[in-house]
């Protein structure tokens, strides 16, 4: 078994695709419209779905905003250098929620960013 994808609902599919591709550097792997079901799916990631876990963005026609709720936490991305990645994300227009630095009660370097819908994304430094 392996994890295939994580699905999140978005209010503006084009805006979210721009964020994940232009700010986080993912690739749009595939996108399909389902007019009978009134939704569109887009799959994004850093590599082919056959070998990598990806993010599925779901746009439901006419829904511009979702409540975040309290159960979902965040998506985590491993990066070589958290400080540099956070600076680059800021330069590309991304919103930093927590600046890069050691995690609370630990030494792992992390940062948090938000996607356009408010989903939190944790950047975690690669372990050498």
* Residues 55 and 86 occupy one common structural domain: no
Judge whether 70 lies within some domain: no
Split into its structural domains, the chain has a count of: 2
Domain holding 100, by residue range, is: 75-125
Task: Decide: pTM greater than 0.75.
Answer: yes
Rg (CA), the chain: 15
Where is the domain boundary, 33, 60, 87? 60
Domain at 81, CATH number: 3.10.180.10
Cβ neighbours around 22 below 10 Å, total: 12
Instruction: Report residue 59's pLDDT band, with 50, 70 and 90 as the boundaries.
Output: very high
Q: Of 22, 67, 99, 122, which is the active-site residue?
A: 122
Is there a contact between 114 and 120 (Cβ–Cβ < 8 Å)? yes
Partners of 40 in the β-ladder: 33, 59
What the block records as the tokens of 123 is: 């950047």
Q: Does the annotation count 22 as an active-site position? A: no
Q: Mean of the pLDDT values across residues 49-71? A: 95
Mean pLDDT (whole number) for 80-100:
97
Q: Which of 76, 43, 77 is nearest to 59 (CA)?
A: 43
């Amino acid at each position: 078994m392996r994890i295939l994808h994580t699905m999140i609902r978005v209010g503006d599919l084009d805006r979210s695709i721009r964020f994940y591709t232009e700010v986080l550097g993912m690739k749009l792997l595939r996108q399909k419209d389902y007019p009978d079901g009134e939704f569109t799916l887009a799959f994004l990631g850093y590599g082919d779905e056959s070998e990598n876990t990806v993010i599925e963005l779901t746009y439901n026609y006419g829904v511009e905003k979702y409540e975040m709720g309290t159960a979902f936490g965040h998506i985590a991305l491993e990066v070589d250098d958290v400080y540099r990645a956070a600076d680059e994300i800021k330069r590309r227009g991304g919103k930093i929620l927590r600046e890069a630095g050691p995690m609370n009660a630990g030494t792992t370097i992390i940062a948090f960013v938000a996607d356009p819908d408010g989903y939190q994304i944790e950047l975690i430094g690669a372990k050498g």
